[in-house]
Amino acid sequence: MTNAPTEQHDTAQQDAEVHLHEERTEPLRLTVVSDFICPWCYVGLTEIERLYRHWDIELDWAPYFLDPSIPPEGRARAPQAPDAPETPVEARGKRLGLDFRRGRTFTPHTILALQASEFARGTGTTEQILDYHRALFRAYFTDHEDLMDVDVLVRHAEACGLDGAELRAGLANGTFLDDTNEAIEHAYAIGVQAIPTFIVDEKYAIVGAQEYEALERVMENLHANRRAMPLPDPHA
């Protein structure tokens, strides 16, 4: 369900053209719909974080299953051959400083990781949530950690300044499960069919890991405001 660049379309840019003369006085709200085993979602997060630092937008987060057929116990997978040609997502990731390291032999079911994201969404700052999403993507795609391991989810949460004990207890008790499942069903109900999808002001959809320049054109068409001073990037 994930979209390569050649398959993307930009609904927001098309629809926004009718609003070119509207002035915006409030931040634009952008909801990131993604899954932690989706490589293009990792790419998309990187572009959206850059956008957030330069434009007056508020970020929100919504879960989605890249592959609903993955069983609850996860699924074994054949590792990608180390000498196979570079894939488009690997090439794009390299440009952005992302390491899609080959050799993974397991694909996890991500319900626990998506619940952990829901916890971060409810308790963390935007910077902490960005850090946590980035950490879980890196854990899976670079370090080949198991996102079904609660210890992994808690360790990265604590490293991002989140309450690890509260997260551990919530995962054990299913505290975030209903909200996570409802959010996934909501994404299906509003027509999300591919990820990443970025929902703008609950009106428009940007589908796929668009290049940064395309995202900026959407901001301009929607009359979003540039920040007077870009937000500092702690990872620069």
How far apart (Å, rounded) are the C-alpha atoms in residues 34 and 183? 11
pLDDT digits (tens, 9 = 90+) for 28-51: 999 999 999 999 999 999 999 999
Q: Which residues contact 80 (CB under 8 A, 6 or more apart)?
A: 102, 103, 104
Residue 114 is encoded by which pair of tokens?
Answer: 């998506």
- Report whether 199 contacts 31 (CB < 8 A): yes
Cα distance between the two ends of the chain: 31
The fraction of the chain above a pLDDT of 70, given in percent, is 90
* DSSP secondary structure letters along 89-127: HHHHHHHHT----S---EE---HHHHHHHHHHHHHS-HH
Task: Give 225's contacts (C-beta < 8 A, 6+ positions apart).
Answer: 24, 27, 55, 56
> Whole-prediction pTM value?
0.90
- What is the CATH number assigned to the segment(s) 64-196? 3.40.30.10
Classify strands 197-200 and 106-107 as parallel, antiparallel or unpaired.
unpaired
Q: Is it the case that residue 10 has pLDDT exceeding 80?
A: no
For the segment 179-201, what is each residue's pLDDT rounded down to a tens digit? 999 999 999 999 999 999 999 99
- Say if residue 196 is preceded by a cis peptide, omega within 30 of 0: yes
Residue 44's Cβ-count burial label (10 Å; 0-12, 13-18, 19+) is buried
Q: In this structure, are strands 57-63 and 9-10 parallel, antiparallel, or unpaired? A: unpaired
* Residue 14 pLDDT > 70: no
